[in-house]
Amino acid sequence: MRIHRIALTDVRGFGPRVEVELDPAGVTVIEAPNETGKSTLFDAVDVALRYKDSSKHRDVKSLWPVDRDAPCTIEVELSCGGTHLVLTRTYRRSPATVLRLLAPTPATHSGDEAHDRLREVLDAEVDQTLYEALRFTQGRDLDAVALGASGSLTAALDRAAGGEAGQEDGALFDRVERTYLHWFTSSGRARDPLSGPAQRLAQATEQLEELRARAAALSADAEALAEVEQELPTLDRQRDEQLRPQLEQVRERRREVDAAKASTDAASARVATAAAELERARERRERREQLRRQRDELAEQVAADEAASAPARERLQQLQAALERGEAQLSDAQGERDTAERARERAQLALDLHDADRRLEVLADRVARVEELRAAVGPKEDELAAIAIDDAAIAQLADAQREVHVAEAQQRVGAPTVRLAPTRDLEVDLDGEPTPLAAGAAHTVTVASSFVLEDPAVGRLEVVPGDRADALREAVVDAKDRLARACRALGVDGLADAERRRDRHRELLGAVTQDRRDLERLLEGSDADALAGELRRARGRRDGLAERLEDDARGTSPAPDHEALLRARDEAGAAARDAATALDAARTQRAQLAGAVQEQHTAVQVARSTLAGMQERLADLETQLAEERAALDDAALDAAVDTAEQAHRALQATAASARAALEELDPDLVAFEVDRLSTALEAVEERRAALGERAAQLRGSLAVRGQEGIGELLQAAEDEYDRARAADERAQARAAAARCLYEAMAAAREEAYQAYRAPLRDAVGALARKLYGREVELDLDDELAISQRTLDGVTLPFEQLSAGAREQLAILAALAAAELAGEDGVPFVLDDALGYTDLRRLERLGALLGQVEDAQVVVLTCLAERFRHVGNARIVALQDLRRAAADQPTLGAVD
Amino acid sequence: MRFLHTADWQLGMTRHFLSDEDQALFDEARLEAITRIGQLADERSCAFVVVAGDVFETNQPTPRTIGRALERLRDVPVPVLLLPGNHEPYNPGSVYRSRAFLDGCPDHVEVLHDRTPRHPAADVEVIGAPWTSKQPLTDLVTETCAGAPADGARRVIVGHGNADVLSGDHGAAGTVHVAALEEHLAAGRARYVALGDRHSTASVGSTGRIWFSGAPEPTSYREDDAGNVLVVELPDDGDHRPDVEAVRIGTWRFVELVRELDGDADLEALLADLDALEDRARTIVKVKVQGTLSLTQAARLDTELERRADLFGALEHPERHTDIVVRPTDGDLDGLELTGYAATAMARLREDSRADGDLARAATDALALLVRLDAEVRA
């Protein structure tokens, strides 16, 4: 769209008609101070193109002049596509619309028709999205210009990308997308229009299957009942015409069999009675015979037993005689054994006496030695007790002696010394002791105490020791005192004496110790008194033995020695043992004889008892036989048996006849037939009953289910299934078509967008390089808006650019779009824009605008100077126009 | 002696292509046929009416269907003899043994459930050959006729089953062997055989004594002469053929329009034929077309058929892709004036539509949809 001319009359601040002409291809700069109606020009164009003359929309009202009640008239001349027109709208007063078409076919429309024709042209030819995108007004949001929705731009880009120009595709795509979303969700799931028929089909299928199953069950029941009803009469015929008559026949035959069987049974019973009678007679005769045989046998046995018992009695007598002899031998053996025993005891006694004598001697010797030792040791112990000097006392005494020597040595060393070398022999008083000193010899005198040297020729020299000499002397005196006390305590004269006495003590101690050991050995752990007691007891024992021997061995002399005595005792012991052995043998033999006698005696007694019992039994048998014969003699008994045998044979013949008659009737076959037919009849009756019950069940079931109209319901379900399937298939096909179309268009659209991006980016990039004068790269997003800028290698998202940069890039994008859209484009309007842009960039931007050829650019500014770099722009001074209009004579307010 | 021969009422039948309202009308028409039969029997002084099987569509109709049928039968002024046919054999589950039927059955209506001779009027004997199962093993009609005495009596056999001379199938269950049957007729065992099963009126054999009455209301497209009942006059003299008159009482019809469509002219002719049909509310039409249509033509066919659908009892559409081939043409798509990606998408779809199989089908449908949506957007 190109706007050629705008004329306003009584619009906002405009009074008389003001007409502004615009350059349709190139830049028009409309200059006017602020608040003088620059923006009103395009606001008025917007209203005129959009609202009917009768509209009271606030956009319309905003154009009304506030200071007068005048018609508000807007006239716009524009061209779009191949149409060139002039639109005149009058609002508020005398509203009117006149549309004058200048090309392609001149025509004039008015009123609503004019409005409709106008909208028709504009809707077809004007890219509203682009129109709004290319309106830059002061204070507009500096978001990146998104041109993706612009049909004319995309058409232009399509051309640039190698496509074809055409109509707006966005609406079609929206419609395709809506259609797709009618069937599917955005994630591709089926929506109700698609899933609904599928569910309906599923329900119909389920319903159909259920009804088919029910119908099949019903049909099966009907067939089953038909079979039952067919079988029941067959069973009745089988029962009434076959089984029952046949059963009656065989039952009649069974009655005959029963009668024959009764006869046979009676005959058999009689035979049994006769047989029992016969048996009894035979048994009686048999018993008689047996009794007689028993009696004979027993009599024979009694006689035999009596003959056999005599040897046993004889043997008993022999054994009794042998027993008496054995007892006499036993008595002899006992006498011999007693004699031998006494000899052995005597020999032992002699031996014991001999041993007692020996022991008595030994004991007496030991007692004598003990006494001797005890007599010797007593004086030694007394002496030993008198000497109380031991090694400790000696050591103590030696210490005292050593202390004396030490004190004396200290005195000698510590006391002053006087050395004298007399020229003549002298005698000096030394500690009161006259001491000679030979001439010519040197003498040393220790001044332990005072000493005096007197020489009549010389005078008296007295040397007196000091305190130290006194102390040393006193120490010597003390040591000597202690030594003297120790000697006195020990009762010795000195250390040498003490050592002598200690040696004697040792000697005595050794002798006493030896004596005591000897004594202990003799005593053998006992004491002297006990040893003496033992001696006394040994003597008493010896005397006792001697007395017993004396009593027992009168007339015999004791054995000469111990060895002989031992031999004599052992011999006597052996003789005693032999006698005892002989005695045991005699006892054993006697006991054996006594056992044999007892055993034989018992045997004889038993035989006697047995014989007595048999004799008694024999008597009983004789008595019993006699009694039986008295009741019925043997001949009568034989006759009774014969009679019973004859009766039994006759009855057996009768019974055999009866059995033959019964066999003739074949009772087993009759019984089998009765069973077979009865069972068959029962089976038929049971089957009938079961079938009757089954039939009743089936009839009941059919009666109930027959009322449900399943057949018709099934038909309806089949119809519904057919309809549901058809509906589902239709929905599937339609949804598939919608999906196919949508996917094809979406794919193509995406590809196109990819292709569009390049030419638009190139166009904006070329402008940007001119503006910034150096290397700059721009990226576009899916909506064809600038998403980021790379300048001197620094990339920034669009939102982070400065307000000036964002404004400039937005204008460059719009300018590129306007140029790309070419003839299909719309006016690019800059209304007091570029407020953020510095002068240098403004100049370059102006120069860029000046290079525009294919687009229509309208710059509204309060400072035309800002755009002096726009080369061949048409400059319109709006104030001048308004002033000129105001100067025109008023034509009146009347249309 | 005159009686009325009818069959195949198929009461309770439903058709999936009928809407609920049309189904109700369809049902009502076949109940109304009973009333018209009763009126006709009265008008023509028929002594009785025989219905030769398939009185009900199923052996388990709803009590409502049974009740309404019996209600109409109650008004028929002469005895009515109903024969169980293959749709409702007289088995234990038979509709004729149902409580609803037994309780509501009028006295003058009798079911020929066995071969016992009936005498609905003086000097005539009627023997039924009922179906007692879905699969009879023998030719029931001939068997029944054979069982009648060869006495030349005025006897009518009522049977059900297709005739071998018409179906060509001699082995199918219940098939009537016409030649054998005619021998029995010639022997004087019966004078007329009233048959059901075939829904179109027809006389079979050479004697003029064996007839299918056809259904009183048509039930499908296959029937060529449905909608009749037969008024049968049995002369006193058995040697004379019966006088049989087909009287049309049907009100509905099934029409199958089979056309070759290869362009606008064929399409227009088809629509004209449809528009020319009379009594469309009781006409069920199936349009079967073959040929190739453009997208525009196919869309038009769909639209035009859709527009007329409510005018007919039912209007069955041809199945797209099976009966007709839809080919996108230049004419379909040139008018779209698409540009840019839309034009690209269209070109690709068109390419796909030239292939075979599901892809081509979906692409063709997608193009048709594109044409429609474009028209909507433009509108």
B4/B351: higher pLDDT: B4
Smallest CA–CA separation between B225 and chain A, in Å? 25
Residues on chain A touching B91 (C-beta within 8 angstroms): 222-223, 225-226
- Cα-based distances in Å from B34 to B8, B29, B39: 12, 9, 9
Residue B206: Cβ within 10 Å count: 11
Q: Closest to A226 (Cβ–Cβ): which among B59, B91, B349?
A: B91
Mutate to test the interface with B, among A699, A741, A753, A757 (most CBs of B within 10 A): A741
Nearest CA in chain B to A229: B92
Average pLDDT over residues A299-323: 85
A553 pLDDT band, cuts 50/70/90, is: low
d(CA A361, CA A458): 97
With beta carbons under 8 A apart, name residues in chain B contacting A755. Answer: none
Q: How confident is the model at residue A521 (pLDDT cuts 50, 70, 90)?
A: confident
Percent of chain B with pLDDT over 70: 98
Closest Cα to residue B15, out of B2, B29, B3, B5?
B29
Predicted confidence band of residue A564 (pLDDT cuts 50, 70, 90) = confident
Q: Which residues contact B334 (CB under 8 A, 6 or more apart)?
A: none
Q: Is the pLDDT of residue B178 over 90?
A: yes
pLDDT above 60 for A206:
yes
What's the CA gap between B331 and A94, in Å, rounded?
A: 50
Q: Within an 8 Å CB–CB cutoff, is residue B220 touching chain A?
A: no
Going A729 to A732 to A736 to A737, the CA torsion angle's sign is positive
Burial class (CB in 10 A: 0-12, 13-18, 19+), A838: exposed
Q: What is the CATH number of domain B2-248?
A: 3.60.21.10
Q: So what's the pLDDT on residue B172?
A: 83
Domains of chain A, CATH where assigned: 2-162+746-887 (3.40.50.300), 194-308+636-693 (1.10.287)
Residue type, A249: Q
Distance of alpha carbon B357 from alpha carbon B364, whole angstroms: 11
For every residue of B126-157, DSSP letters joined together read EEE----SSS-SS-HHHHHHHHS-SS---EEE
The tens digit of pLDDT for each residue in B39-58 reads 999 999 999 999 999 999 99
CB contact under 8 Å between B62 and A713, yes or no, is: yes
- Determine the residue type at A623: T
Q: Do B99 and A706 lie within an 8 Å CB cutoff?
A: yes
Instruction: Give one word for B184, left, alpha or beta, with left for phi > 0 and alpha for psi -120 to 50.
Output: alpha
Name the 3-class secondary structure at A575: helix
Report whether pLDDT(A219) > 60. Answer: yes
**Residue of chain A whose alpha carbon sits nearest to that of B63:** A707
Residue B137 near chain A (CB below 8 Å)? no
Torsion of CA A412, A416, A421, A426, to 10 degrees: -80
pLDDT value, residue B200: 96
- Give the closest of B65, B99, B370 to A741, CB-based: B370
Q: Measure CA B36 to chain center.
A: 18
Q: Exposure string (b/e) for B346-377, b if CB count within 10 Å is 16 or more? A: bebbbebbeeeeeebbbbbbbbbbbbbbbeeb
Query: Which of A745, A750, A824 to mutate to test binding with chain B, by most B CBs within 10 Å of its CB?
Result: A745
Q: What is the pLDDT of residue A352?
A: 83
Separation CA B92–CA A224 (nearest Å)? 9
In this model, does residue A806 exceed pLDDT 60?
yes
Predicted confidence band of residue B11 (pLDDT cuts 50, 70, 90): very high
Taking all residues of chain A, what is their mean pLDDT, rounded to a whole number? 84
Residue A166 has pLDDT above 50, yes or no: no
Q: How far apart are CA B371 and CA B335, in angstroms?
A: 9
pLDDT category at B332 given cuts 50, 70, 90 is confident
Q: Which residue of A has its CA nearest to B99?
A: A703
Beta bridge partners of A78: A3, A85
Residue A500, pLDDT above cutoff 90: no
The answer to whether the Cβ–Cβ distance between A723 and B16 falls below 8 Å is yes
Q: Which residues contact A584 (CB under 8 A, 6 or more apart)?
A: none
User: What count of CB pairs under 8 Å joins A to B?
Assistant: 173
A220, amino acid identity: A
What mean pLDDT is predicted for residues A301-326?
A: 85
Share of chain A above pLDDT 90, in %: 24
Name every chain A residue with its beta carbon within 8 A of the beta carbon of B103.
none
Q: Using CB atoms, pick whichever of A223, A706, A740 lies closest to residue B60.
A: A706
Compute the average pLDDT of residues A511-517: 87
To the nearest whole Å, the CA of B33 is away from the closest chain A CA by 20
By CA distance, what is A722's nearest residue in B? B16
| Cβ of residue B181 closer than 8 Å to a chain A Cβ | no
Does the beta-carbon distance from A748 to B342 stay under 8 Å? yes
Q: Is the pLDDT of residue A169 over 60?
A: no
Give B-chain residues touching A225 at CB under 8 angstroms.
91-93
B141-176 pLDDT, tens per residue?
Answer: 999 999 999 999 999 999 999 999 988 887 788 899
Cβ proximity of A165 and A156 under 8 Å: yes
Which of A570-574, A766-770, B108-112, B219-223 shows the highest mean pLDDT?
B108-112
Tell me which residues of chain B, numbers 49 to 78, contact chain A at a CB-CB cutoff of 8 Å. Answer: 57-65
CA distances to A349, A538, A549, B164 from A546, in Å: 9, 12, 5, 167
Residue B244: pLDDT above 90?
yes
pLDDT at A880: 85
pLDDT surpassing 90 at residue B109:
yes
The DSSP annotation for B98-134 comes to: SHHHHHH--TTEEE--SS--B-SSTT-EEEE----SS
For residue B38, give the nearest of B76, B84, B85 by alpha carbon.
Answer: B76
Sheet with B202-204, strands from edge to edge, namely B125-128, B155-160, B192-196, B210-212, B202-204
Mutation target to probe the A interface, by most A beta carbons within 10 A, among B55, B57, B60 is: B60
pLDDT at B185: 95
Is any Cβ of chain A less than 8 angstroms from the Cβ of B98?
A: yes
Distance from CA of A234 to the nearest CA of B (A): 18
B95 interfacial to chain A (CB closer than 8 Å): yes
Is the per-residue pLDDT at A800 higher than 90?
no
pLDDT at residue B205 in the model: 93
Q: Tell me which residue of A892, A881, A803, A891 sits closest to A14, measured CA to CA.
A: A881
pLDDT of residue A891: 46
- Chain A touched by B333 (CB under 8 Å): no
> In angstroms, what separates the C-alpha of B262 from chain A's closest C-alpha?
24
Look at B342 and A745 and tell me if their CB atoms are within 8 Å: yes
Least confident of A40-49, A450-459, A736-745, B247-256: A450-459
Place of tokens 């078409």: A101
Cα separation values, A353 from A535, A538, A550, Å: 15, 11, 11
What pLDDT score does B319 carry? 65
Secondary structure (3-state) at B355: coil
What is d(CA A768, CA A808) in angstroms, rounded to the nearest whole number? Answer: 9
Specify the residue for token string 């040792």: A506
Is the pLDDT score of B248 beyond 50? yes
Instruction: Write out chain A residues lying below 8 Å of B344, CB-based.
Output: 163, 748, 751-752
Residue A172's pLDDT band (cuts 50, 70, 90): confident
Angle, CA A799 vertex, CA A797 and CA A800 arms, to 5° = 70
The DSSP bridge partners found for residue A860 are A30, A831
Helix boundaries (H) for chain B:
20-43, 63-74, 99-104, 140-147, 164-167, 178-186, 264-276, 295-308, 330-334, 340-353, 357-378
- What angle (nearest 5°) sits at the alpha carbon of residue A754, between those of residues A751 and A759? 130
Average pLDDT, chain B: 91
Chain A residues with CB inside 8 Å of B374's CB? 172
The conformation of residue A19, written as its DSSP 8-state character, comes to E
Q: What is the mean pLDDT of residues A366-391?
A: 83
For residue A415, give the 3-state DSSP assignment. Answer: coil
Measure the CA–CA gap between A482 and A396, rounded to whole angstroms.
Answer: 11
Write out A207-272 in H/E/C secondary structure.
Answer: HHHHHHHHHHHHHHHHHHHHHHHHHHHHHHHHHHHHHHHHHHHHHHHHHHHHHHHHHHHHHHHHHH
- Residue A167's pLDDT band, with cuts at 50, 70 and 90, is very low
- At A249-292, the pLDDT tens digits run 999 999 999 999 999 999 999 999 999 999 998 998 899 899 88
Domains of chain B, residue spans? 2-248, 253-378
